[in-house]
Amino acid sequence: MTTLTPPVTKQHTVVDSPYGPLTLVAADGVLCALYMTDQRHRPPEETFGVPDPEPFGEVISQLTAYFAGELTTFDLPLDLHGTPFQRSVWAELLKIPYGETRTYGELAEELGKPGASRAVGLANGKNPVGIIVPCHRVVGASGSLTGYGGGLDRKQRLLAFESGGGTQNGVQALF
């Protein structure tokens, strides 16, 4: 007997941020993606589903609080799709505290795969929910800024924002 899986309903909306427009995508009402403009690995827009801000109220509320410097940890249900290894990397990203960084090597060590820093970097780059799953907090072994799907300028600005106690270049960052 064949079992049919009901189709996934996707919705999306675009919100403004201090880092440019953010496209939020939900699958059956649960956040599954946050994309920046010109982001590497951004899928075609036709895969985002229908425009509908309805499922994103809490996501937008928490992003607003984050950019205002009032929220340091997101508490949102996420529907992340990737390989088991990618999902394990993304779970480790969620453990990196606000305002701190880790190296790719440190994440590989945490995963029990000390020689897998390059694979960690590739999985980090495929993170579908930037900012909320804080892939921007991962740096090179020397502390240098390396690769970021949203662009190195955004990575640098996000890290400066988080280390500046809620300001971005000395100015309160608001939606």
pLDDT tens digits along 51-82? 999 889 999 999 999 999 999 999 999 999 99
Max CA separation in the chain (angstroms)? 63
The pTM of the full predicted model, rounded to 2 decimals, is 0.84
pLDDT of residue 134: 94
What's phi and psi for 15, nearest 5 deg? -120, 150
Answer for the pair 80, 129: CB distance below 8 angstroms, yes or no: yes
pLDDT of residue 147: 63
Tokens of 99: 């305002």
Position with higher pLDDT, 2 vs 20: 20
32 is catalytic: no
pLDDT of residue 144: 59
The residue among 55, 53, 46 whose CA lies nearest residue 16 is: 53
Per the residue annotation, which of 93, 131, 135, 159 is the catalytic one? 135
pLDDT of residue 145: 67
Which residues, in sequence order, are CB contacts of 24 under 8 Å at separation 6+? 12, 13, 14, 15, 31, 33, 34, 56, 59, 60
pLDDT of residue 170: 37
Answer for the pair 138, 101: CB distance below 8 angstroms, yes or no: yes
pLDDT, tens only, 115-174: 999 999 999 989 999 999 999 999 877 665 666 655 667 778 889 999 884 444 433 333
